[in-house]
Amino acid sequence: MNRELFDLGGSVALVTGASKGLGKSMAQALAAAGADVALFARDVENLKAVKETVESMGRRAEFFVVDVLNKPSIEAAIAGALEIFGRVDILVNNAGVNVRKPVLEITPEEWDLVLDTNLKGYLLMAQAVVPHMVSRGQGKVINMASILGTVALPSQVAYASSKGGVIQMTKVMALEWAKLGIQVNAIGPTYFETPLVAQLRNDPERYNFIIERTPMGRWGQPDELAGVVVFLASRASDFVTGQTIFVDGGWTAW
């Protein structure tokens, strides 16, 4: 195998929601493969820690405090990233939230928070970054979907709706930008042991349900996304676009 296909040396990745959880792990994986990294999130202290980790790997990193629902905030941060790094080759749309409530109980405000953050935030980031990729004739966009974009669970109406939207958004983006040198794909993880699902991990009944439902019999670990995010960010995936790759221990194989 030609290992150079997976080498991200000389490239610049931008990761949203990079301060913790899967975003942190993916930022570190991209840096380990050779990319410099622009870290977008709102948690300054955790952003500083991730920046230090990336720099300890010999890569350049800068962090930006960004609200992905605020277009001026995004545009200012993108301008700052471009000034520092000169370009963005890889966009990882990862920032997200969840409100777990039954259909009859979720409020309009909670619905809007989840759909706006998980779906509109991806759109706004892509609208700000992709024109710069188009001007260079190449780029990779990686959207964070979920198994809940294609399977259903109770009390996940807003999150599942948003992630189903991400899968469809990914396909449309891929179609529109295919001839412009931009590949767009999504990653659909199952339950990974991150702060976002701490409540579920502390609930023995729900924790065990997830283990029982997963053919591999366990939750995912954040670093187990490293391979797929590097693949989708690298030249190895140059003929792959519009796809969602599920990293789910076999959940969606049922």
pLDDT band at 195 (very low <50, low <70, confident <90, very high): confident
Kindly indicate the confidence band of residue 198, based on its pLDDT and cuts at 50, 70 and 90: confident
**Which residues are CB-neighbours of 193 under 8 A, at least 6 positions away?**
201, 219, 220, 221, 222
pLDDT band at 213; cut points 50, 70, 90: very high
Query: What mean pLDDT value characterizes the chain?
Result: 96
Structurally, at CATH architecture level, domain 3-246 sits in 3-Layer(aba) Sandwich (3.40)
**Residue of 240, 224, 253 lying closest to 21 (CA atoms):** 224
Q: Which sequence spans correspond to the domains of the chain?
A: 3-246
Which of 194, 187, 198, 193 minimizes the C-alpha distance to 226?
A: 187
Catalytic residue flag (residue 122): no
pLDDT, tens digit (0-9, with 9 covering 90-100), for 64-103: 999 999 999 999 999 999 999 999 999 999 999 999 999 9
Q: Please tell me which residue in 122, 159, 191, 207 is annotated as part of the active site.
A: 159
Rounded Cα gap, residues 210 and 218, in angstroms? 8
Within 10 Å of residue 193's Cβ, how many Cβ atoms? 16
pLDDT digits (tens, 9 = 90+) for 112-146: 999 999 999 999 999 999 999 999 999 999 999 99
Among 101, 99, 125, smallest CA distance to 112 is for: 99
Instruction: Report whether 248 contacts 190 (CB < 8 A).
Output: yes
Q: How many CB atoms lie within 10 A of CB 78?
A: 22
Q: Kindly report the pTM of this predicted structure.
A: 0.97
Mean pLDDT (whole number) for 36-56: 98
Residue 196 has pLDDT above 90, yes or no: no
Split at pLDDT 50, 70, 90, the class of 200 is confident
